[in-house]
Amino acid sequence: MATDRESLSSIEREKASVFHSWSAQATINPLMIKSAEGVYVTDEAGKTYMDFSSQLVNTNIGHQHPKVIKAIQEQAGKLATIAPQHGYESRYRAAELILDRSFDGAAKVFFTNGGTEAVEHAVRMARLHTGRHKILSQYRSYHGGTSTSINLTGDPRRWPNDNGSSGAVHFFGPFLYRSMFNAATEQEECERALANLENTIMFEGPSAFAAIVLETIPGTAGIMVPPKGFLAGVRELCDKYGIVYIADEVMCGFGRTGEWFGYIGQGVKPDLVTFAKGVNSGYLPLGGVVINEAISATFNDRVFPGGLTYSGHPLACASAVAAIEAMEEEGIVANAKKIGDEVLRPGLLELAKKHKIIGEVRGLGVFFALDLVTDRDTKEPLAPYGGSSPAMNELIAACRQEGLLIFANYHRLHVVPPCNITAEEAREGLSRLDRALSVGDKYYVGK
């Protein structure tokens, strides 16, 4: 059997032995990667691609950052693994660095292996703290793939996994471009979204809700920056009804928006914060929950019924320490803001003038989305909600032909390069995207 495998190509062996996530197994065609460095990855054939996707929007400090690689190697040399009931330096140092960049009143960090487990445990903490069960979340959202987090998710990946028993209650959040509230301005959208949220709370029972889980800026669902005042209004509703505010910062945290956390730029203070991805740029599996003083105190004399064999794994925590310190020393968070303000936003708006299939450009930092349409007046999407289309498939293929890895979801392309991309690299990426978008211009049917 082993001999037979050796006669196959790499991609044939991959497809024969690996079960891929979120995929129909017979139709996958993975790009086989040999190496990566900075904002580039190289496939087995030797072709190099600019990574405008940051993989799954997580390599915030790029690939193979030498300080992080060195930290992992040094940690492996002295303590490769240890059970989580023990204490060790890399874990408390990682927690301290995260707390120092968190909201006023942040008390402790609970470490997980990734974002979905962070959401699961944050929800469990909120339920035990409040003695309530129901959880609010937006329709346009993604919170993870495990039992509770997938039910809280508001995109079509929830549908085949929805068991109807998680206590999840969904509501429409603000999104002026495709408003559910017939709003004409950001202020109207904000006010009507908040009114809709409060009505949902009232009709579902205010005393039933333990928490609201919100991506500060929804990522996979479309990078919709909330209108001014919306998250502050959510905070007021949480205080009014005794609901725990959980900020899901798994994708938008650690520099992605030009701030350490997205909620900082929105001027709000959550009760719990879930994180993963950018905390160590995905060099090793790591996520967690930042816990405020009140919820942490709930478990001072009461056992928290949750834990993981690899919670705060030494290698993962060492990589987080090195990543956060590198981001600080190298000004990577400030660079993300500068690149967004000076290169990506103006560059993408110029592309929108040239390519009518771009219905809207939205985002900030190194966190942008292009909403692609066949008609700007009707806003007809280039692919249906929850699906793809020949046009989108052709665009993605054109990006790959241009040596550009892009994050695509339904009718959108997301421009989400590493936070330490240079202005020159960002402009080169936009040039490649410009050429790829030309392939899609023929699908525009509007005026």
**What single-letter amino acid sits at 365?**
G
3-state secondary structure at position 285 = coil
Q: What is the mean pLDDT of residues 189-198?
A: 98
Q: Where are the domains of the chain?
A: 31-64+331-443, 67-329
Asked if 400 and 240 count as a contact pair (C-beta separation under 8 A), the reply is no
Q: What is the residue-wise DSSP string for 397-438?
A: HHHHHTTEE-EEETTEEEE---TT--HHHHHHHHHHHHHHHH
C-beta atoms surrounding 342 within 10 Å: 12
Rounded to whole angstroms, the Cα distance separating 223 from 217 reads: 6
Asked if 211 contacts 135 with a C-beta cutoff of 8 angstroms, the reply is yes
Look up the CATH number of domain 67-329. Answer: 3.40.640.10
68 falls in which pLDDT band (50, 70, 90)?
Answer: very high
Residue 3's pLDDT band (boundaries 50, 70, 90)? low
Q: Tokens 């202005």 sit at which residue?
A: 423
For the domain with range 31-64+331-443, which CATH number is right: 3.40.50.300, 3.90.1150.10, 2.60.320.10, 3.40.50.920? 3.90.1150.10
AA identity, residue 308: L
pTM: 0.96
Look at residue 164 and tell me whether its pLDDT is greater than 90.
no
pLDDT tens digit string along 355-405?
999 999 999 999 999 999 999 999 999 999 999 999 999 999 999 999 999
Average pLDDT over residues 325-350: 98
**pLDDT tens digit string along 262-293?**
999 999 999 999 999 999 999 999 999 999 99
3-state SS class at 232? helix
How many CB atoms lie under 10 A from the CB of residue 415?
27
pLDDT at 75 over 80: yes
